[in-house]
Every structure is written in C-alpha cells, then in structure tokens.
Amino acid sequence: MKQIYSGLILAAALALGACASHTAGISVNSQGETRVDNSSFARNIAVESVDARRIADVIQASALVVSKSSIDMRVQYKFTWYDASGFTIEDEATSWKSVKLHGKQQLQVTAVAPNSQAVRFDVYVRETFSN
C-alpha cells in the first residue's frame, strides 16, 4: 500500500513539474528590466516599450507584446501593481487576460492601477495552450 501512495505522489510531482514550463514566460517591470523564465518562449515573443502615465491619481501602464514568429500564438498577460513599500496591491483580483497574436503582430496591452497607492508594476506574458 505504501508503494501505491509513493507512486501516486511521484506521478503527481512529475505531472506538476511538466506543467511548470507552461506558466513561465517573460516579465518586465516599470523600470524596463526584463526577466526571461522560458527561453524558448522568448525566442517567439518579446515585451517592449513598457511605459506609464498618470491619469488623475492612478497609473495607466502599457507594454508592446511582439510576435517574432510567423505563426499564430495565443498568449496571456497580467499586470501586477506594487505600493511604495513593495507590497502587491489587489493581486488576487487581477486575472490573466488571453489574446491571440498573429504571425509578426505587435499588440499594445494596457492596464490601470487599482488605486492611487500603486507606484510601480510588472507585466507578465506567458504562452497559453487553451483555445
């Protein structure tokens, strides 16, 4: 019986490990610093022209998602906002948004900070495998 449980735990760990590469992608912060967690994805997609402006008392952020591939790809993006102390603001309320990029397409994605406490942000882009 112990071997069955060990086998199930090993199978679950392998399955979760196989999924891990599907959640990794590219992130760029509001200072323009890029982090690549999936180099094969980064060969096909880039995040450029990260910018922000203040509208009233909140920040509006934008980033240009660029397809370097000639084939269509479905990607997801998400903005995460931080306060002056570096704490995330309403991160659980922010969901991934899915878009389809046609070959060599460039798409500007935008988001508005949830409140005036936000002073910086990260934008994350990853590949999705759903339709």
Report the 10 Å Cβ neighbour count for 24. 18
The three-point CA angle 10-16-20 to 5° equals 140
> What is the band of 131 on the pLDDT scale with cuts at 50, 70, 90?
low
| Neighbouring C-alpha atoms within 13 Å toward the C-beta of 112 | 7
pLDDT in tens, 22-36: 458 999 999 999 999
> What is the band of 91 on the pLDDT scale with cuts at 50, 70, 90?
confident
C-alpha separations of 101 from 2, 78, 97 in Å: 48, 16, 13
The three-point CA angle 83-114-110 to 5° equals 105
> What is the band of 42 on the pLDDT scale with cuts at 50, 70, 90?
very high
Q: What number is the average pLDDT over the span 79-107?
A: 92
Q: What number is the average pLDDT over the span 114-129?
A: 93
